[in-house]
A and B are shown apart, each in its own frame.
Chain A
């Protein structure tokens, strides 16, 4: 395990951020009509569900929530000696003409989001895709930006960000990990 970690967000911070993001999503879309929320496996899926719960509390409506695994759409598969585990994709709707809010935990190079958008297109032609992320750590390699950002956190490339969520059996928290590895 790397030696140095620093807490960036605690449980309470994450709750406040998600409540704010739920409000922003409703505000920007003037309600929830035709709105679908899709989380990227795995952290994004947990966050997407939590955002849905908050939207329900505010608007009193159930927003459909799905999950998306992007392993099969990655652009770096051939560059790895190890493979990401392929997790479930659960999008039981035709996405044509739907407004999609894509949810991920950390926005970094933007490559995951590129892969996620390609994957979404295989489920139809959405009228719009918006992006919500808990953290934006910079270092984009593609022209991608988020519509909803929980918190901007400047990092160096050698650092890692670890998002821990209750759904994975640990207490909510976001940590900066100094891995000591150069990028």
Chain B
């Protein structure tokens, strides 16, 4: 262990070694996840102060590289970055259907030559962040890649659940909707299964993969799936990825897999309702549920900033760019 001369060494003053990138929950250890979640609670305190900014990443530069439209994730990252005092560069790339490996490589190499320390990337191709992480020295944070993962969302969901329920262990968590296209659902399954939560995936059979190798129960009947659940996570129906006949109409979808008050009663009395946003009110969730006291949807938004600050703090290391 390298000891810096600047501080007396305390045995209990533990230091933590972090990874270079956060590309997915799949690639992160349980210890990494626990560390991020515990660090996030300190950052949540910062967000409650009058002065919500800390000088931690002064002099560092972050690029938000979004190849897919995003409002809330991008805003959340940008706020987290600003509150950590890094300089922020928004590199918006017009939506294009296919970005070839090589041009993505060139884009990222160009950005790296600007001397950035963090690259936050969202891309429609699964695995794009992994590809970039292998090719740059900057820390890469996945803000959603294709139908693969959205790790910071799963982290903020876990943080929110722990905040409300005390822990993840032993909870029954129902994830409802288009699991197949949902990177949020996948990251959540990877994370929750590490913490011994009981996971139920509920939705039309065309949209719910079995997820072999993970301890999940797949159900198409929502009433059965919600029974005694501690947490109900609703997923957004991704209209932009439909049109291949996964389900007949949105009205019919709501009738079978939408969450309204009557259905929510099948879950535990104090069940938590979550949604990663943006919501399609009346399609996957009724307004009454979304605005109810059981809804943690706005807590998720607030916690997202704290969790992203924690991730960036923990990934920051000695100047990769000299």
Contact = CB atoms under 8 A, between A and B. Distances in A.
Interface in A58-98: 69, 71-73, 76-89, 94
Interface stretch (B121-129, B185-193, B234-242, B313-321): B313-321
B49 A118 contact: no
Nearest to B320: A78
A111 interface: yes
B86 to A, nearest CB: 11
Contact of A86 (B7, B18, B42, B60): B42
B7 A112 contact: yes
B14 interface: yes
B13 A84 contact: yes
A181 B3 contact: yes
Interface string A159-172: 01111000010000
A43 B10 contact: yes
Interface in B1-43: 1-18, 38-39, 41-43
B106 interface: no
Interface residues of B, number: 41
Nearest to A119: B54
A73 B55 contact: yes
Interface in A13-70: 42-43, 69
B318 A81 contact: yes
B113 to A, nearest CB: 20
Contacts of A105: 8
Interface of B: prevailing SS = loop
A157 B7 CA distance: 10
Contacts of B7: 108-109, 111-112
B280 interface: no
Most buried by B among A76, A77, A94, A111: A77
Contacts of B310: 86
Which of B5, B313, B314, B316 gathers the greatest number of chain A CB atoms within 10 Å? Answer: B5
B45 interface: yes
B9 A179 contact: yes
B46 interface: yes
Contacts of A168: 12
A106 interface: yes
Contact of B3 (A84, A111, A179): A179
A136 B7 CA distance: 13
Interface residues of A, number: 42
A78 B10 contact: no
Given A84-B13, A85-B16, A88-B42, A78 B319 contact: yes
B107 interface: no
Interface string B302-322: 000000001001101111000
A163 B42 contact: no
Given A78-B318, A108-B8, A162-B9, A83 B45 contact: no
Contact of A81 (B13, B17, B54, B55): B17
Nearest to A80: B4
A183 interface: yes
Nearest to B60: A78
Contact of A83 (B41, B51, B57, B314): B314
A133 to B, nearest CB: 11
Contacts of B1: 82
B5 A183 contact: yes
A83 B15 contact: yes
Nearest to B1: A82
Nearest to A82: B15
B56 A80 contact: no
Interface in A99-130: 105-106, 108-109, 111-112, 118, 122-123
Given A73-B55, A122-B49, A85 B8 contact: no
A42 B54 CA distance: 20
Given A73-B55, A77-B56, A79-B318, A89 B45 contact: yes
B4 A76 contact: yes
Contacts of A108: 6-8
Interface of A: 42-43, 69, 71-73, 76-89, 94, 105-106, 108-109, 111-112, 118, 122-123, 137, 141, 157, 160-163, 168, 177, 179, 181, 183
Interface of B: 1-18, 38-39, 41-43, 45-46, 49-51, 54-57, 59-60, 310, 313-314, 316-319
10 contacts: A71-B56, A73-B54, A78-B318, A80-B317, A82-B1, A83-B316, A89-B42, A105-B8, A141-B6, A162-B9
